[in-house]
Amino acid sequence: MLDLHVQMVDININHWGYLQSKLVRSGREKERIIIIHEKGKILKFIHSHGKSIRRIIDKITDPFKDAENVYEANKDLIEYVIIVDRDAVNEYFAEVQESWNPNESIVEYTIRMRRLLNKYYEKGVIVTYPSKPTDYLGWVPTIKINYDAIVEFVNTYILPNSLVALFIFANQKLKASLILGFNKNLRIDLITSTDILRPLKIEEHDWKQGYKDLITIIESKIGKKCSIGIFIEEEILDNIIQKGGIEFQRVIDALKQDKLLLYPITDKLRTILSNFT
């Protein structure tokens, strides 16, 4: 979905950091037990943050059962356990590197790389507990939405050569923005923020009074019409995002209460939402 020649311009670093904190998390931040072995012989058995742990096994016999047992013995200290066969890690990265295709986007490559982890999990050579590696390793989305579903949504509800704009507010002031430009093939060829509108000081305005004007200014500046504009308060966003997913009924409730505004919106999406609002 990301074009091979995407432009990233005028991105507000504070907005970008805020969105990262909301939408993705790093597995490296989580406290975990790391066990590396070679044919069952344990080479490393440590806590990621240096804490003392209960080493209840001295070799790997069944990585799935061993991971569960180590987790249960230490779950007051950690969020997950990872058990890795050293040779398998080398094999995994070799397969990842050999599968690189210069004609695909970095997003598609990254997603394929993450899906490959499940193959090694099923083989029992890269094992995590209490969930699969894709829930812990690398940058993990906080909202569990299937990538193919996102592509389907874009192809169905976004117009070619258009924009999608997201604005998040706190106490009526702009907290974060993300503006995505789509080309004729519905691939993202532009990533920017309201910094593209400088010297306009959007943070000083009441967004519910000026959101339509904001879209008009963005369309004029970039030279594309906006398919969907999303305006939402931070507390409403936090209420909608629950337990790794989006609570659809809370989206509908926010729309009914004008706490979430969609402007503009494509006819197809308006028709779907009208069945609920």
User: Could you write out the DSSP letters of every residue in 31-55?
Assistant: -EEEEEEETTEEEEEEETT------
Q: What is the pLDDT of residue 210?
A: 81
Cα–Cα distance measured from residue 42 to residue 196, given in angstroms and rounded to the nearest whole number = 53
pTM here? 0.81
Burial 110-135 (b: 16+ CB within 10 A, else e): eeebbebbeebbeeebbbbbeeebbe
Q: Write out pLDDT tens, residues 185-228.
A: 999 999 999 887 776 665 555 667 788 988 999 999 999 999 99
pLDDT band for 44, please (50, 70, 90 cuts).
Answer: very high
* Length, in residues, of the chain: 277
Q: Rounded to the nearest 5 degrees, what angle is found at the Cα of 134, between the Cα atoms of 11 and 16?
A: 10
Residues β-bridged to residue 8: 191
DSSP secondary structure string, 152-216? HHHHHHSPSSEEEEEEEEETTEEEEEEEEEE-TTS-EEEEE-GGGGTT--GGGS-HHHHHHHHHH
Q: What is the pLDDT of residue 201?
A: 60
What 8-state DSSP symbol labels residue 29? G
Beta carbons of 128 and 80 less than 8 angstroms apart: yes
